[in-house]
Amino acid sequence: MRLRVDLLPHGNYPDVVLVIDTLRATTTAVTYLERGAEALLLTRTPEVALGLKGDGFLLGGERGGLPIPGFDFGNSPVEAQSQNFTGKTVVMNTTNGTGASHVAAQSGKHIFLAALTNAHAAARRARAQATEEVAIVCAGTDERVSLEDVYTAGVLAEYLLSLGEFTIDDGARIALTVRRNSGNPLEALSSSLHGGRLNNLGLGEDVSYAAQLSTSTVVPTLVQGEDV
């Protein structure tokens, strides 16, 4: 079994893909489902999401870290945690995380969203489904590598290696090195460029929330349907 870590999304995934956007899209996605959401719809653009508004859909997303005008929510796991989404479908559009999921969906057979909050459950799910490869895909920020995603990839890789035999690529080696040398999750996320940006926007509680390790067993699973 191969274990591959892409520090940015590349595509050509033959088997299982774990998409990571720790700050904050995949962390928020886990929280929506924990808070009762029936499904998540990840759109390519905010306009597609806005077109669905009012049809029983709630809209969550951001640009520049801030809520998109016309959306019901930002992209905040702390905000999501305070709501009840029972029976609702949440339509998400974010700068990097939802796009990375679309890249994964072009080729992957089984696609799961992973964050620190669901790290162990996501890794177990990936291991159970994979027949040849687990690809861990970091969303990054504006096409640049993000420390918080690579750190989370290292956490996932470390746990996967404890579950069975893998041959690992250089991306996985880098992620494991980052995980082992960046302190605890809160230290790693707080020291990242995007963690600092969120802090400056007054969203530091989201960074602390996203730094919780395996507090959830919810693993969002992409079901490919109509392209939105």
Q: Which residues bind Mg ion (CB under 5 A)?
A: 21, 23
Residue 95 binding ligand 3SL, by CB under 6 A = yes
Does 24 sit behind a cis peptide bond, omega within 30 degrees of 0 on the bond before it? yes
Place of tokens 């963690």: 195
Residue 224 buriedness (CB in 10 A; 0-12 / 13-18 / 19+)? exposed
In whole angstroms, give the CA distance from residue 126 to residue 137: 13
Residue whose C-beta lies closest to ligand 3SL = 94
Instruction: Decide: helix, strand or coil at residue 91.
Output: strand
Residue 120 site contact among ligand 3SL, Mg ion, none (CB < 5 to 8 Å, cut-off depends on kind): none
Please name the residues in contact with 90: beta carbons below 8 A apart, sequence gap of 6 or more. 32, 37, 39, 40, 41, 57, 58, 59, 60, 73
Please choose, out of 51-59, 77-85, 94-102, 110-118, the segment that lies near ligand 3SL by the rule CB under 6 A: 94-102
- 149 touches 178 (CB < 8 A): no
Residue 96 in contact with ligand 3SL, rule: CB under 6 A:
yes
CB of 17 to ligand 3SL, least distance (A): 16
Q: Which of 3, 20, 23, 49 is the binder for ligand 3SL (CB under 6 A)?
A: 23
Q: Which of residues 58-77 bind ligand 3SL (CB under 6 A)?
A: 62, 65, 75
Is residue 149 within the footprint of ligand 3SL (CB under 6 A)? no
Q: Is 25 in the site for ligand 3SL (CB under 6 A)?
A: yes
Q: Which of 146, 216 has the CB closer to Mg ion? A: 146
What 8-state DSSP symbol labels residue 73? B
Residues in contact with ligand 3SL by the rule CB under 6 A: 21, 23-25, 62, 65, 75, 94-97, 198
